[in-house]
Structure formats: C-alpha cells, structure tokens
Amino acid sequence: MASPKKKAFALRLDPAVHAAIERLAADELRSANAEIEILLREALKARGITVDRGSRAKRGRPPKGE
C-alpha cells in the first residue's frame, strides 16, 4: 500500500518508454514506479531544481505481523 504522504496519479506513457523503464528498473532492482521517481529527480536536478527527499520508505518486505 502506498504511503499516505505520496501523491498518486495516472501517468500515460508510450509503451516503448514504459518497457525501457521496466528494463532499467529490473537492472537496478527497483520497481518501475521507484525508477520513474529517480529519473524525474535526476531531470529536475539537471535543471537546477532541488527537491527535498522527505522520509524514505523502508525497503524490503514488512515483518509478518504487519
């Protein structure tokens, strides 16, 4: 389930772009969503726009009790 602090929205992508993102994400052991966020942050940084990281989500599977 997404963190309540994250903004959810629909994103339409060219299928070839989506496939490339999925390949890159798999190579980096990330989800396509996480890869898109990283790519967007890199593009913003390249244009001189800094974005606070905020709290980072915990990686891996949650404990069985959650």
Q: Is residue 3 part of a domain?
A: no
Distance CA 16, CA 19 (A): 5
Q: Is residue 41 part of a domain?
A: yes
Q: Which amino acid is at 34?
A: A
Q: For residue 59, give both structure tokens.
A: 């990686």
Q: Is residue 54 part of a domain?
A: no
Report the pLDDT value the prediction gives residue 6, as an integer from 0 to 100: 82
Higher pLDDT, 46 or 65: 46
Q: Give me the domain span that covers residue 31.
A: 15-46
Count of residues in the chain: 66
Task: Report how many domains make up the chain.
Answer: 1
Q: How high is the mean pLDDT of the chain?
A: 87
Higher pLDDT, 39 or 59: 39
pTM: 0.70
Distance CA 49, CA 2 (A): 25
Contacts 24+ apart (CB under 8 A), 11-15: 11/36
pLDDT at 58 over 70: no
